[in-house]
Amino acid sequence: MGANKKMKKNNIIILVLFVAFCLFFYSGIKAEDYPPTITFEKPVKAVPFNHKGHIEMMGQDCESCHEKFFQYQIGAAADAGDFNHKSFKEGKYCGGCHDGGNAFAMDKECTKCHIGVKGYNKLKSGGKKEEAHH
């Protein structure tokens, strides 16, 4: 009887630890905040990426991009040396989705992504600088 009781107690401790373990990792992923917009500047200036918009569209499914197409690190793609349209065509990075299937293809509508240097300056100044020249 005594041994049985001790085993039950151990089971409870294990259960509590297990739940705590799960909560830790669950909240770790959930609480991770992400930058709402990321602007790529290499190799060409510039391509803004609407992180928030994509996350809303994908329904919080971080794994649809991470780490299949992108790492959890700004600059990783730009530093990899193959962040270009040749790779996109092979289904890497943005090209994993933007192939004319669920998302528009990358061989047209260039300006949907490429905002150029002017657009970049406007974005960085919050639109104020450009406005002042008008």
Residues that bind ligand HEC in the complex, under the rule CB under 6 A: 32, 34-35, 38, 40-44, 46-47, 49-51, 53-55, 57-58, 60, 62, 64-66, 69-78, 83-85, 93-94, 96-98, 102-104, 106-110, 112-114
The smaller minimum CB distance to ligand HEC, of residues 69 and 121, is found at: 69
- Which letter does DSSP use for residue 73 in this model? S
Nearer to ligand HEC, 119 or 130 (CB): 119
d(CA 14, CA 20): 10
Question: In the complex with ligand HEC, which residue's Cβ is closer, 7 or 61?
Answer: 61
CB of 122 to ligand HEC, least distance (A): 15
Query: d(Cα 88, Cα 66) in Å, to the nearest integer?
Result: 16
> What is the nearest approach in angstroms of ligand HEC to the Cβ of residue 20?
22
- DSSP string of 25-75? HHHHHHH----SEEEE-SSSS-EEEEHHHHHHHHTS-GGGTBTTTB-SSTT
